[in-house]
A and B are shown apart, each in its own frame.
Chain A
């Protein structure tokens, strides 16, 4: 997702000093930033979930040692229904490679497949985290500017009131 902070009639985004913008517009940018931050943190936790799912697969492969051959296991038919079975082949596994395709691999290949997946997801998570940090920094900056503008506005108002009625002190509202 890209953010053109502002695009004028010429259509090309310009860098505009945030301090020059009116508060209403800053408010808009703030909501936009909040939305982006939300979706990014959501994506980040999805990455973490995917990573732990791959880790679990990898662990299962590592658990299948030569000793586990011919051992009786319970095979889940559904989440709550199991039948007994025997591990007849510990050399070959079938791996989900996405979009409904599955590939038969040796246990060793499958383990390295999951390793590369974990790394891939890790890279993505890192990238997302970097973007999140950047966005958070600009979000904090934006908040500061808004705060500054708000106090300035209040001060101006107070001054205007004081000028209008020189006799009375600024009334508390």
Chain B
């Protein structure tokens, strides 16, 4: 069968595929002025299906109490649902044990937890931390703070013009002082999927642990932390159709156990006297204070929802959408796509000749189209391509080809306004 035939057949599948799930998202029925909303800012935050909204309401109306404390009915059920959510996350990423899943307030919080819990304990003066040029500020700044505090050194993996990591250069950065690697699974600004499995393996051959920032990956790709063999994997719920204010840190049990706590308080202790405090077991050692219980349970519901669709189906459909939109956008004169790796999630970052991204964003908004404009919290990437900012359209499985067409039409409208 020729490739074209396969695409043709997949096309029919995807129309039904989308129809089925799009209706689950009430917000997608909104109008912006008199234009239907075309939501293409999913890399910043995805939308929430009714299933998750209902779960939050059910928790709040029938199950809420504080967890891990009282013996009464509501506390027991809230604790049970919270721990069930942890197990859902465990299975979602194929972690070996539920206690390897720590609830955090999000990706940024999780990276900071590792910086404080692992970095401040084990990184010393003169040690080196490897980052990449593709990182979000959340995976740069905490390590810079650590380096400044400890006198450690940050080394950066360069990228090529397509926005891909130079793996040979990465390997050359290792030396006897290398103590940690922190890299993104998927670039938030460009969509590049990094070859993390081989990069992790390379670091491990030299005994160096690796943290993977999965914020942009987990909603697009099936994650198997045991197959990846990463030491840490972090992501946020709100990019996976879940609530804001919750995310996870996956860590290998032995790493988490060796780490010092990040925040002190209730729930993270097993006993407290004024002379000595004994810390709780993992995961509780890292969950001080009352967590966002509703958000964690909503996160679990979002995982159920996504698992029901299947990450492989999502990846296949989104790739089709990406190919469709990329082909058409790249044909528009004066439009340049930044990040042309053959291995990408459905993110299209672009610039328009002579037109600032903020003007693009405002004009697209007038057409009801939501894209992100700016540096995407990834200023080093912008510097690498010598541009101040880009416009970024990021797709989810609930977006349609019609919406890709609306974007393309919107880009033509922007050109008309500016270049007529």
Do these two chains interact?
no
Interface residues of A (CB under 8 A from B): none
